[in-house]
Amino acid sequence: MTAGGLLLSLGGRALAGVDPLPSWNESGARRAILDFVRRVATPGSPDFVPPEARIATFDNDGTLWAEQPLYFQLAFALDEVKRLAPQHPEWRNREPFRSILAGDRKGVMASGEKGLGQIVAATHAGMSTEAFAETVKNWFEIARHPTLGRPYDQLVYQPQLELLAFLRANGFKTFIVSGGGVEFMRVFAERSYGIPPEQVVGSSGVVTYATGPDGKPVLLKQAKVEFVDDGPGKPVGINRFIGRRPILAFGNSDGDLQMLQYTAAGGGARLPLLLHHTDAGREWAYDRRSPIGKLDKALDEAAARNWQVVDMKADWKVVFPP
């Protein structure tokens, strides 16, 4: 079954009164979610929230899908450098491209933020938005995760698919609010999560309007960062794109701290959730010292403020869809 089909069947089951969260163990996290949704969605409840204000925002990398051993969008970019290399003989002697082509991970990392900027410019700019989306779509079809062997879009978290469907069945509007590139995520978000393009908030580069060689309008992706939807950028992005404060937010790293603070600080019932990657057997275990998805300050703040921490190992029956 496709993720989309799975979502539909889950939605149907939720409506039919069957357990809407079958992949969540009986635990505090599951109870907190069920209790919160019941309180805000039940007319007459003191915590009732009208449907239009039932806004739920989810980080993507490490919250809705995996992010190890490196962010999947970065894996895409590195694959793109390899695919495009024959057209760029000059890359053989230029960092960070030389290291990418030589499979030298350390060399790539050594190029730092400047190198990352060059990788993004080489793989995410200089084409139309439509051509870029087509490239990403093709990559999802052929690329496989280096250790798990699956297509990347099958590394979404099954319990989160159930949670998204459960929230929507209870009148929530579900959004992605991620540091990932918005044009990258929109390619698979509707199919994988049931989240339409207009509900995906992410980082973006400058796009310009031009007339193509065929006389038709075209939107061109430029090599200039426009908005970084991470850290304090997340509440800013929420305000800009959604214009309402979420009542539920789900993250997994310090990049989500401000989104969780902003969500928690609103009036009425609130549910800030933090996924803790504790499952070295089925997924990965990492937090305070991980270069990817570092979870340090937000873990302290969750403890101090009683935010709900979801322990992947303890709280999830399964991690990925079957």
186 binds a second copy (CB under 8 A): yes
Among 97, 152, 184, 241, binds a second copy (CB under 8 A): 241
User: Can you tell me the distance from the alpha carbon of 144 to that of 63, in angstroms, rounded to the nearest whole number?
Assistant: 20
Q: Is 313 exposed, middle or buried (0-12, 13-18, 19+ CB in 10 A)?
A: middle
Contacts with a second copy by CB under 8 A: the residue count is 35
Number of helices (H) and strands (E) in the chain: give both, helices first.
13, 7
Strands 55-58 and 173-181, sheet pairing: parallel
209 binds a second copy (CB under 8 A): yes
Binding mask 82-121 for a second copy (x = CB under 8 A): ----------------------------------------
User: Can you tell me the distance from the alpha carbon of 37 to that of 47, in angstroms, rounded to the nearest whole number?
Assistant: 10
Among 28, 107, 171, 232, binds a second copy (CB under 8 A): 232
Six-digit token string for 321: 């869809």
Q: Is 67 exposed, middle or buried (0-12, 13-18, 19+ CB in 10 A)?
A: buried
136 near 171, Cβ under 8 Å? Answer: no
- Considering beta carbons, is residue 206 or 318 the nearer one to a second copy? 206
Report in angstroms the alpha-carbon separations of 112 from 17, 77, 115, 116, 291: 51, 15, 5, 6, 12
- Considering beta carbons, is residue 190 or 296 the nearer one to a second copy? 190
Strands 217-227 and 248-251, sheet pairing: unpaired
- Considering beta carbons, is residue 39 or 244 the nearer one to a second copy? 244
Among 1, 18, 110, 265, binds a second copy (CB under 8 A): 265
Least distance between a second copy and beta carbon 30 (Å): 28
- Segment interacting with a second copy, rule: CB under 8 A, options 12-20, 24-32, 57-65, 216-224: 216-224
Contact residues toward a second copy (CB under 8 A) are 52, 55, 129, 173, 175, 182-183, 186, 190, 196-200, 204, 207-209, 216-217, 219, 232-233, 235-236, 239-244, 258, 261-262, 265
